[in-house]
Amino acid sequence: MAILKLEDISLTYVNKEGTFPALQHVSLHVKEGEFVSLLGPSGCGKTTLLSIIAGLLEPTEGTRTIIHPKEATTDIGYMLQHDYLFPWLSIEENITLGQRIRGIYDFESKQNALKWLDAFQLTDKKKEFPRALSGGMRQRIALIRMLATNPAVVLLDEPFSALDQQTKLKLENLVSKTLKKENKTTILVTHDIGEAIAMSDRIVLLTPRPGKVEQIFEIPSSLKQQTPFDTRQDPKFQQQFQLIWKELERLDQS
């Protein structure tokens, strides 16, 4: 069943200089539990499309529909490149902030958030403040804050790009394992072809602005069954990488 439906989405910006189409006729259905990555040249509208999915922007044309599973508490969870933790709040207060804002904070929801801290081996940090944590820990806290609201659809906007390579690979494994275990429908925006292949079920390639769906790549099942780290060691990974790289190069030159 498709839990997220984008039908003929277009967005045009208007300012003093004129009109500027950012997206044109983008249609995409994402099934429950599916992990989909958005790839494309810089400025092709990946983050704009993510903002439309999140309900932060209204499309000029088209419709966006989220079918809310019974077990989900909220429609959207959003994880960004920067953790945006509040420095004056403790880790416990930070991870329950989304619950408070959405009016779903109670003893049960708090315990759920604390269980995530325990699962990520950060229980001993709950009374600490963000300044005491490493970059990788802060991103794990941002992930917990998002999961604590129990969203139907998870949006990831380059959440690992500011991290060193070792931390990034560890977090990819952690996030991938967690989201698959929770059967979360996920959309990832990334510039990293390898990251998209290692984490995704499908990759949507967008054209240069205005962004349109140029091609959708289905990741082989043998890769999807592995961890992101192990996927990178598989010969099929390089085949997929070269295929997508060539398409990106073609788009850049067109």
Q: How confident is the model at residue 223 (pLDDT cuts 50, 70, 90)?
A: very high
- The model's pLDDT over 77-123, given as tens digits with 9 standing for 90+, comes to 898 888 889 999 999 999 999 888 888 888 888 888 898 888 888 89
In the chain, where the domains are located:
2-72+154-253, 83-149
- Residue with the larger pLDDT of the pair 3 and 234: 234
User: Is it the case that residue 70 has pLDDT exceeding 70?
Assistant: no
> Contact 136/125 with Cβ under 8 angstroms?
no
- The yes-or-no verdict on residue 38 having pLDDT over 80 is yes
Three-class secondary structure of residue 150 per DSSP: coil
Residue 130: name the closest of 79, 167, 86 by CA: 86
Q: How far apart are CA 86 and CA 138, in angstroms?
A: 11
Beta strands in 73-184 (DSSP E): 74-79, 151-157
pLDDT, position 212: 94
Find tokens 């963000």 and name the residue: 130
Give the model's confidence band at 233: pLDDT under 50 very low, under 70 low, under 90 confident, else very high.
very high
| Architecture (CATH level 2) of domain 2-72+154-253 | 3-Layer(aba) Sandwich (3.40)
- pLDDT value, residue 1: 67
Q: Which residues lie closer than 8 Å to 86 by C-beta, 6 or more apart?
A: 93, 94, 97, 130
Predicted TM-score (pTM) of the model is 0.91
Q: In the predicted model, what is the mean pLDDT of residues 218-230? A: 92
Give the residue from 110, 167, 101, 99 showing the smallest Cα distance to 139. Answer: 167
